[in-house]
């Protein structure tokens, strides 16, 4: 990290663990008796995905998609590009889409459109973090880990220029 960048922890490892367990219970309850296809948006959601799915006691397949939105720096997105599409056939399946954070909603909306085109029986979304802000895009995630202020956050999978994904907590990154 640049010596002048600083991290301000906002969600502790304990709180994350507790909340992820709660989310897993909610998903189990809502999908009771069903089989799931969990689709994770790479790479920010991998840590969340790994922790969450191991707490969900339901039959499931796991797939990943890759979407490039941010350029890697704390700047506005420069358009969306789907880099890897589904390998699982989700037609007739219950799909739970997982992402690290919803900001403008552009990423989730784009991936949801792709999933819907494959005619799943149901589609729900689960994000680890949701930024408190007005969204022009009308996407409301079905499951939200935590709401956070509209600041740039890192850790627990979220990166800044590829770094900080391995932090076991969530922090606001102050870039100076
Ligand atoms: P959206 O398409 O909703 O604007 O942005 C979603 C994607 O942008 C997330 O999957 C994540 O990769 C990235 N993103 C949005 N806000 C943040 C943030 O505060 N920190 C980091 N590290 N990534 C973010
Ligand atoms: Mg992402």
- Ligand 1, atom 15: closest residue by C-alpha: 103
The span from the CA of 176 to the CA of 173, in Å, is 9
**CA of 162 relative to ligand 1 center, distance in Å:** 13
**For the chain, how many helices (H) and strands (E)?**
3, 9
Q: Does domain 14-148 have CATH number 3.40.50.2020?
A: yes
Please give the number of the atom of ligand 1 that sits closest to the Cα of 44.
12
| Alpha helices, DSSP H, located in 13-124 | 13-30, 46-53, 106-117
Give the predicted TM-score (pTM) of the model.
0.91
Q: What is the pLDDT of residues 14-41, one digit of tens each?
A: 999 999 999 999 999 999 999 999 999 9
Residue whose Cα lies nearest atom 9 of ligand 1: it is 101
Q: Residue 63: in which H helix or E strand, if any? A: strand 60-68
Residue closest via CA to ligand 1's atom 16 equals: 103
Is 51 a pocket residue for ligand 1 (Cβ < 6 Å)? Answer: no
Task: Give the model confidence (pLDDT) of 52-107 as tens digits.
Answer: 999 999 999 999 998 875 554 444 445 666 666 777 689 999 999 999 999 999 88
Q: Is the pLDDT of residue 4 over 80?
A: no
Instruction: Tell how far the Cα of 76 is from the centroid of ligand 2, in angstroms.
Output: 13
Ligand 1 centre distance from Cα of residue 18 (Å): 23
Nearest ligand (C-alpha, residue 106): 1
Active site residues: 103
């Amino acid at each position: 990290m640049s010596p002048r960048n600083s991290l301000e922890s906002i969600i502790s490892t304990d709180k994350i663990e507790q909340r992820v367990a709660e989310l897993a219970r909610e998903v189990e309850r809502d999908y009771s008796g069903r089989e799931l296809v969990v689709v994770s948006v790479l790479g920010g959601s991998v840590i969340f995905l790994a922790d969450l799915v191991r707490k969900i006691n339901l039959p499931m397949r796991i797939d990943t998609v890759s979407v490039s939105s941010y350029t890697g720096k704390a700047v506005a997105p420069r358009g969306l590009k789907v880099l890897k599409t589904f390998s699982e056939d989700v037609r007739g399946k219950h799909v739970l889409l997982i992402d690290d954070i919803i900001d403008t909603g552009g990423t989730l909306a784009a991936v949801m459109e792709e999933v819907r085109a494959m005619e799943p029986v149901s589609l729900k979304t689960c994000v680890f973090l949701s930024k408190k802000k007005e969204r022009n895009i009308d996407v409301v995630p079905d499951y939200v880990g935590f709401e956070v202020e509209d600041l740039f956050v890192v850790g627990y999978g979220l990166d800044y220029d590829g770094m900080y994904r391995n932090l076991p907590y969530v922090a606001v990154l102050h870039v100076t």
